[in-house]
């Protein structure tokens, strides 16, 4: 016997750019069967009715660049020390906790962009979190896990592993064949894709302008991942890096920092998705970094870089570059605040509708899930949220937990703040968990 439900609301932002007043969404098992307005097709008489009243419904939100396995200011006051105090085993429980915080804020799909630990990659731990959710033993968002594959001394290596630290064997790889092997190992361990860096970033002893691998090495990573039908996401801060990404045929370019018109036009023509991560460039995020122990030199680098990031965003948008929402939330600013990224896009010139598309249809396409999620259309999985008010009037509504009235993933309601007895998925309330280094 099939399970048919009809979702009623005041308005639907369907994720394709359309708005439907008084929508009726028929959901059968995990999938959307039909979408119509109130006077459209008749609803099945045996269906259960889910009426979210005055709320606006829209596709579950998608963050294409997040670090759920990051050490967090909610668990440890100083992120730099936490690297050596918290084992990867413990941290994987925090990764689950972080994913649930985001889930409750309406993010039904998230792509994790990886991290290193003093014990090595964190990919297997993140795959375990993903699989625990997929297997239905723990509630959380749909996760895609990127595993890091970088050269010796790359920004992504230095970022999470201080220079004096002893490296586990095989942590990094150099030259096309070593890198190909590393890609194969990471994909064998269950990763959904590869994350690498072609340029430096904000980490001690490196500089955003340095090259982090040769074109030949990047080509090897991309060719090998594509041979397994897996995508490659590339951290890139420079114009030189953008050219390398286009030449190698990468799938997504992460961050918008330094650029020139020639490289931007090439990215636009190639149709490669770019993930802005501007939430990590605002003063609030930089201040949080300072509070959590980021060295003053790097705080200065961040402040100097900031205006270039916003300028590149505006120029990329004007050049027609395909933009998919991603935040780079890690230990800063804090888990659950990803929707602030959309407010930044609007401040920088997008309409609220355009910003919402970056986190729905466009984000889904960028991470290879365009056929299954990202819009509320017949045939898609029923990942739908109900929002108090209309985000097209004020996209900041999505930032407040109280406004995220319902979160449905694959047809099941996991979060219901509209009910008389509100229901959420995670056990602790904000502030009720223990700060490991402060008690």
How many Å apart are CA 213 and CA 206, to the nearest integer? 13
Residue 362 near residue 323, CB atoms below 8 Å:
yes
Inter-residue contact 220 to 200 (CB < 8 Å): no
**224/328 with CB nearer Zn ion:** 328
52 vs 324 by CB, closer to Zn ion: 324
Written as one string, the DSSP assignment of 338-407 is TTHHHHHHHHTT--HHHHHHHTTHHHHHHTT-TTTSSS--TTSB--EEEESS-TTT-GGGGG-GGGEEEE
Q: Which of residues 84-113 bind Zn ion (CB under 5 A)?
A: 113
Q: Which is nearer to Zn ion, 104 or 328 (CB)?
A: 328
CB of 148 to Zn ion, least distance (A): 10
- CB of residue 169 to Zn ion, shortest distance in Å: 25
Enumerate residues 319-378 that contact Zn ion by CB under 5 A. 328
Q: How far is the CB of 391 from Zn ion (least distance, A)?
A: 25
For the bound state, the minimum distance from the C-beta of residue 115 to Zn ion, rounded and expressed in Å, comes to 8
Minimum CB separation of residue 201 from Zn ion in Å reads: 9
CA–CA gap between residue 281 and residue 341 (Å, rounded): 10
Considering the complex, state which of residue 288 and residue 424 has its C-beta at the smaller distance from Zn ion.
Answer: 288
Q: Which tokens go with 347? A: 């401040």
Query: Using CB atoms within 10 A of its CB, is residue 42 exposed (0-12), middle (13-18) or buried (19+)?
Result: exposed
- Cβ 36 to Zn ion, closest distance in Å? 40
| DSSP at 209 | T
| Cβ at position 281, least distance to Zn ion in Å | 12
Closest approach, Cβ 327 to Zn ion, in A, equals 9
| C-alpha radius of gyration, the chain, whole number | 21
Binding residues for Zn ion, how many (CB under 5 A)? 2
Q: In terms of CB distance, is 113 or 305 closer to Zn ion?
A: 113
**169 Cβ partners below 8 Å, 6+ apart?**
none
What is each CA distance from 381 to 59, 63, 247, 374, in whole angstroms? Answer: 10, 17, 35, 9
10 Å Cβ neighbour count for 151? 25
Cα–Cα distance, 363 to 342 (Å, whole number): 12
Asked if residue 146 binds Zn ion (CB under 5 A), the reply is no
Phi, psi (deg, nearest 5) at residue 341: -55, -35
Minimum CB–partner distance for residue 392 and Zn ion (Å) = 29
In the complex with Zn ion, the residue whose CB is nearer, 57 or 171, is 171
Which of 172/403 has CB closer to Zn ion?
Answer: 172
Distance CA 34, CA 44 (A): 11
**Can you give the binding site for Zn ion, defined by CB under 5 A?**
113, 328
């Amino acid at each position: 016997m099939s399970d048919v439900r009809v979702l009623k609301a005041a308005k639907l932002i369907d994720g394709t750019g359309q708005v439907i007043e008084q929508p009726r969404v028929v959901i059968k098992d995990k999938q959307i069967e039909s979408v119509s307005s109130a006077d459209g097709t008749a609803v099945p008489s045996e269906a259960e009715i889910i009426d979210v009243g005055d709320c606006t419904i829209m596709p579950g939100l998608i963050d294409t660049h997040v670090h759920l396995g990051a050490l967090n200011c909610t668990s440890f006051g100083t992120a730099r020390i936490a690297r050596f105090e918290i084992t990867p085993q413990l941290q994987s429980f925090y990764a689950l906790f972080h994913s649930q915080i985001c889930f409750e804020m309406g993010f039904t799909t998230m792509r994790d962009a990886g991290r290193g630990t003093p014990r090595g990659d964190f990919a297997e731990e993140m795959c375990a979190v993903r699989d625990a959710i997929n297997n239905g033993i723990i509630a959380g968002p749909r996760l895609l896990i990127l595993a890091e594959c970088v050269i010796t001394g790359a920004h992504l290596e230095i970022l999470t592993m201080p220079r004096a630290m002893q490296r586990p064997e095989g942590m990094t790889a150099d030259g096309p064949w070593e890198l190909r092997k590393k890609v194969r190992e990471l994909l064998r361990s269950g990763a959904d894709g590869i994350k690498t860096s072609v340029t430096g970033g904000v980490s001690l002893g490196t500089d955003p302008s340095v090259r982090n691998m040769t074109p030949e090495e990047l080509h090897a990573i991309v060719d090998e991942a594509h041979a397994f039908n897996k995508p490659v996401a590339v951290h890139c801060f420079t114009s030189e890096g953008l050219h390398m990404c286009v030449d190698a045929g990468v799938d997504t370019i992460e961050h918008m920092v330094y650029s020139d018109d020639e490289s931007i036009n090439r990215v636009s023509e190639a149709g490669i998705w770019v993930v802005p991560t501007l939430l990590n460039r605002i003063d609030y995020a930089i201040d949080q970094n300072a509070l959590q122990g980021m060295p003053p030199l790097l705080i200065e680098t961040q402040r100097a870089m900031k205006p270039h990031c916003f300028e590149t965003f505006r120029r990329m948008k004007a050049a027609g570059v395909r933009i998919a929402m991603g935040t780079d939330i890690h230990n800063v600013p804090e888990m659950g605040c990803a929707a602030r990224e959309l407010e930044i896009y609007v401040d920088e010139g997008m309409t609220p509708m355009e910003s919402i598309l970056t986190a729905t249809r466009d984000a889904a396409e960028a991470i290879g899930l365009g056929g299954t999620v990202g819009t509320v259309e017949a045939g898609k999985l029923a990942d739908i949220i109900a929002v108090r008010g209309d985000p097209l009037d004020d996209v900041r509504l999505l930032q407040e937990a109280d406004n995220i009235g319902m979160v449905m993933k694959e047809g099941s309601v996991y979060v219901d703040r509209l009910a008389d007895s509100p229901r959420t998925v995670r056990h602790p309330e904000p502030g009720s968990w223990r700060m490991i280094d402060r008690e």
